[in-house]
Each structure stands twice: as C-alpha cells, then as structure tokens.
Amino acid sequence: MTNFPSWKPRFSQNLEHDLKSKNEDALNFTFSTFGKKYPESRICVFRGFAGEIRSKGDHSSNPPAKSDLLVFTTDSKMPKYEEIKQNPNFTAVFWFSKSAVQYRFYGKAHLIKEDTEDLLAHFHVEDGKKWSWKEERLRQWNKLPAWIRGSMAVPWIPGEKANGRTPDLIELKDSEAKAPSEKLLEEEGLNRFHLVVMEIEKVDELHSQPAPGRRRKWFITEGKDWEEIACMP
C-alpha cells in the first residue's frame, strides 16, 4: 500500500496537537469487544501505527515503514485476548479534548505473537525491503515500562478472586546481567505478550467545536477502496 486513507493524517494531526498541548491522555482510548453476555470496554494505550518510529530512543531492526494499522498491546491472560479470539470485531473511541475531536474506529483486531505475512499489504516499506512482525513485537516490548512488562509475568489471572492474596510488584528492567529467576520471569512475560493490531474498516470523525460541529465518515467499499463522505454532525 502506498496511498493511505485520508483519515490517517487527520487523526495523526489532531493527536499531535493534543500531545503538544500537554494532553497525555490523548493516547488513551476505549476499546470495546464482544463479551459472553455484555459488550466489554476498557481503556487502552495507543502505541502508534505499526512500523512507525515515534520518538528518539525508539529503535528497530526493521526498515523504515508506514502503515494504517493502529497498535496496542495485551497479555494473553487478559479477558480481551479470548474475546478477540472468539470475535475480532471491535470499536475503538479516541477523544482529543484540546482539539475537541472524537474518532470512532471499527474493524477487526489481530493478535500477533509470531512472525506472519498477515496484514503486510497495509505497509509501505522503504525501498521494498523485508519487514518483520517479529521485530515489531520486540520493538514494542522493549518500549514498555518495566512494571508493565512485569505485569505479564505475574502468577495470577487478572480479575480472579484474591482469596486473601495481595499482588506483588514485578519489574522487568533492562539489564545485561540478570539472575536466573529474572530470566524466567522475562521469558514468561514475553511469552504472554501480544500485539493487538487494529485493521480499520470504518471511521467516524466528529468535530464538536465550533458549534454546531462537523462530521466525516470513511468506509471500505466492496472494491476495497476507501470512500469519504461529509455527514451531518
């Protein structure tokens, strides 16, 4: 893919405006899946578009790339992991308070742990070089804070009854010299660590200010092309 849908630069510009306006919450979004009985929603942290370097100190052995795939991460013991496996359809909602813009994304979520050829059509890779999900997963793992990596090595299942237990803080810090017990914890955490890659099929962009607002929608046609339409707010 060389031409990305027009919602991507608009979304990116509004996100950057909020981040530059000191709204760090702009990276937080609501991710909703299908539960056994009710819709299930939770706040997740946007980790950027797959393959795209966002900051200094963010390194990858992959060649430079661009995509329209939104990424966050999860632990295979989290409920959303099984929910995505059962039904990959999702809704994700971003609210940029400084820009007064809401984005609703609809599509299919993909759980990625192993290297795969899936979704590579969504990328533009520099000079047509080979790009790897394996390296992208390691890049995202290395970017996580030590306590988040540690949370993926805890011996309990999130949400289960405590039964008198209290949670211990586990931190998986970057270090060349690690005790055998630390290596085992890191292996456990990395084994449970998955990318959640959001393949977008429909987008709803709402500018609430200035009133009465304005709205645009994008959706994929039967011919697999993106169509953009102006809507009433």
- Tokens linked to 89: 């359809």
Q: How far apart are the first and last CA of the chain?
A: 31
Distances (CA, A) of 199 to 106, 130, 167, 173, 203: 8, 20, 35, 31, 11
- Which residue segments constitute the domains of the chain, with CATH numbers given? 7-139+193-231 (2.30.110.10)
Task: Identify the pLDDT of residue 138.
Answer: 95
| Rounded CA Rg of the chain | 19
Within the chain, which residues score under 70 in pLDDT?
A: 1-2, 175-178
Nearest to 4, CA basis, from 60, 46, 65: 65
Task: Identify the pLDDT of residue 55.
Answer: 77
Give the SS3 label for residue 105. strand
Q: What CA–CA distance (Å, rounded) separates 215 from 139?
A: 35
- Pairing between β-strand 193-207 and β-strand 123-125 as defined by DSSP bridges: unpaired
Task: Identify the pLDDT of residue 228.
Answer: 97
Q: What CA–CA distance (Å, rounded) separates 52 from 69?
A: 10
Task: Identify the pLDDT of residue 109.
Answer: 98
Cis peptide before 212 (omega within 30 of 0): yes
